[in-house]
Chains A and B, each alone.
Chain A
Amino acid sequence: MAFVNGLRCRECGREFPAEALNVCDFCFGPLEVEYDYATISEVISRDKISKGPISIWRYEDLLPSDGDDPVDIMAGYTPLIKARGLGKRLGLNNLYIKNDSVNPSFSFKDRVVSVAATKAVEFGFETLACASTGNLACSVAAHAARAQIHAVVFIPSDLEKGKIIGAAIYNPTLVSVKGTYDEVNRLCSEIADNYPWAFVNINMRPYYAEGSKTLGYEVAEQLGWRLPDHVVIPTASGAMFTKIWKGFNEFACLGLLDGVEPMSFGIDQNTAHHPAVTTRMHMTQAAGCSPIATAWNAGQTLVKPVRPNSIAKSLAIGNPADGIYALRVINNSNGSAYAVPEEDIVDGIKLLAETEGIFTETAGGVVMSGLKNLADSGAIKPDELTVVYITGNGLKTQEAVEGVVDPLMIKPTMTSFEEQLSLRQSR
């Protein structure tokens, strides 16, 4: 069963029933899921988690829906890989990669959508919908197929082909909007008010966002019930960044980490910070859309919206909904934020591919270049335990790296092969 008390406004603290709501009707602040941690603490254990399914639903006690009949395409429990090649290149001896690009629809979005789709079915919705720059569209369409309900996904018309096909194959109603990202966004907010659909990132948002906590749980579990010294995360809206931090603190407060005593969550569950959680949270954004990193570097508490102009389209959120909360997490964790120059993004994709055999999308290029900056600057010391999150698969953004294709063009003869090989080796 789900251990949920209801929803609570993050700004004014007003309480609401656990329904398909996302905004407080008094102050219009965002709503968050409120848990019954007292009961959770009585039923949860490392042993129970370890014996759970090999998916995000092993953490069902800490998700807003029970795992009895989830909409599950086996999202989560992705590999945590010791990065020896990359670590050697960057001078980091204790570096791990959380490879979430191998989720069923090839991005971390399967985590959040699995939770949102499960709640949508629980609430009786017959249509799952989203506005998306790609990864979310693929995941929503896939989960709707699994649940055998309708899917309507809205995408900007200039999206990468890999993402359009990756969504269309599941046969959703695909709506290609001839407009800017902002216009797609506004349109979907209006549609959500007028159609009885479960928009995963609008009226399902409080539940949807909770799925990202599993990125924190899994890293802790896979490291042997301990937390890393540093995490490096690609960031768009800021929601995933804040939820990983929440996941770390939930594990600590519930006494699931090695050598950590349980602690009360306090009045505001979303800002609970266990003193044993000393992980430094490092955010990376692309310079072409870096509103949160820009605010942090300027010492501001407000996030000034920008018009995105980045090849990292999955991070291209100009007005990040959770930006101010992400700033607080950076400050509370003694972390940092870095805007990666656009020209370094492809280099980051190549660096990961060439050192670890992992092909990531442009968001992964952003986080790799951010990691390199942290290593080069000495912000991460060589022996500190560091986890870098790779959240999407490179097959979806092949356009960004087309320049790597440079084969030896030969005739079907030994002579031609040896000539061209010699030429290549002499470059």
Chain B
Amino acid sequence: MMGKQRVKFTFVSNMVKEPVIYNLGRDFKIITNIRRADVQENMGWVVLELDGEEDEIQRGLNWVSSTGVRVDPVSGDVIDG
């Protein structure tokens, strides 16, 4: 089933220079659409929308997580007390 997912990637220093989003779009059938970002020398985050088959998006996100990039829902950490 096709779907869209809003996610936030957080990059730590050793991943900041890696083309993770490019690779995600190249290696999986996912359209990546960046909406907001702040990338600095030692860390950064990117908020984006992913469009594709739901299973493919999940496979892509599992791969992103495996690289060491943190993946969160775009609403942030909702566990709050």
**A305 touching B79, Cβ below 8 Å:** no
Report the interface size for chain A: residues with CB under 8 A from the other chain: 46
**B35 touching A26, Cβ below 8 Å:** yes
Residue B25 is within 8 A (CB to CB) of chain A in the complex: no
**A186 touching B79, Cβ below 8 Å:** no
**Which of the candidate stretches A35-43, A52-60, A126-134, A273-281 sits at the interface with the other chain?**
A126-134
Q: Closest CB-CB distance, B63 to chain A, in whole Å?
A: 16
Q: How far does the alpha carbon of A107 sit from the alpha carbon of B40 in the complex, in Å?
A: 38
18 interchain pairs, CB-CB under 8 A: A22-B75, A23-B6, A30-B76, A135-B81, A181-B77, A184-B79, A186-B72, A186-B73, A202-B78, A205-B75, A205-B78, A236-B81, A237-B80, A302-B45, A317-B77, A317-B80, A320-B76, A320-B77
User: Residues of B with Cβ closer than 8 Å to A?
Assistant: 6, 10, 12, 35-36, 38, 40, 43-45, 47, 49, 70, 72-81
**B79 touching A185, Cβ below 8 Å:** yes
**B78 touching A319, Cβ below 8 Å:** no
Residue A251 is within 8 A (CB to CB) of chain B in the complex: no
Q: How far does the alpha carbon of A347 sit from the alpha carbon of B64 in the complex, in Å?
A: 41
Residue A65 is within 8 A (CB to CB) of chain B in the complex: no
Q: How far does the alpha carbon of A201 sit from the alpha carbon of B81 in the complex, in Å?
A: 10
Q: How far does the alpha carbon of A358 sit from the alpha carbon of B75 in the complex, in Å?
A: 35
> CB within 8 A of B78: which of A26, A189, A304?
A189
User: Residues of A with Cβ closer than 8 Å to B?
Assistant: 11, 22-23, 26-30, 107, 109, 131-136, 181-182, 184-186, 188-190, 192, 199, 201-202, 205, 236-237, 239, 300-302, 304-305, 314, 316-322, 392
A239 contacts across to B, CB distance below 8 A: 80
Q: How far does the alpha carbon of A304 sit from the alpha carbon of B13 in the complex, in Å?
A: 10
B77 contacts across to A, CB distance below 8 A: 181-182, 185, 237, 317-321
**A28 touching B80, Cβ below 8 Å:** no
**A27 touching B45, Cβ below 8 Å:** no
Q: Closest CB-CB distance, A236 to chain B, in whole Å?
A: 6
B40 contacts across to A, CB distance below 8 A: 301-302
Contact flag A28-B35 (CB < 8 Å), given A23-B75, A205-B75, A305-B10? yes
**B76 touching A237, Cβ below 8 Å:** yes
A107 contacts across to B, CB distance below 8 A: 81
Q: Closest CB-CB distance, B66 to chain A, in whole Å?
A: 15
**B73 touching A11, Cβ below 8 Å:** no
> CB within 8 A of A131: which of B6, B72, B79?
B79
**A131 touching B10, Cβ below 8 Å:** no
Q: Closest CB-CB distance, B47 to chain A, in whole Å?
A: 5
Q: Closest CB-CB distance, B58 to chain A, in whole Å?
A: 10
Q: How far does the alpha carbon of A205 sit from the alpha carbon of B79 in the complex, in Å?
A: 12
**A305 touching B72, Cβ below 8 Å:** yes
Contact flag A185-B74 (CB < 8 Å), given A28-B6, A304-B12, A317-B79? no
Q: How far does the alpha carbon of A282 sit from the alpha carbon of B51 in the complex, in Å?
A: 42
A318 contacts across to B, CB distance below 8 A: 77
Q: Which B residue sits closest to A139, measured CB to CB?
A: B81
**B75 touching A134, Cβ below 8 Å:** no
Q: Which of A23, A300, A314 has the most CB of B within 10 A?
A: A23
Q: Closest CB-CB distance, A79 to chain B, in whole Å?
A: 21
**B75 touching A304, Cβ below 8 Å:** no
List 10 A-B pairs, minimum CB-CB distance, nearest first. Answer: A321-B76, A189-B73, A319-B77, A135-B81, A136-B81, A28-B47, A27-B36, A201-B80, A28-B35, A28-B74
Q: Closest CB-CB distance, A76 to chain B, in whole Å?
A: 16
> CB within 8 A of A302: which of B44, B75, B76?
B44
Q: How far does the alpha carbon of A319 sit from the alpha carbon of B79 in the complex, in Å?
A: 10
A182 contacts across to B, CB distance below 8 A: 72, 77
Q: Closest CB-CB distance, B38 to chain A, in whole Å?
A: 6
**A132 touching B79, Cβ below 8 Å:** yes
A132 contacts across to B, CB distance below 8 A: 79-81
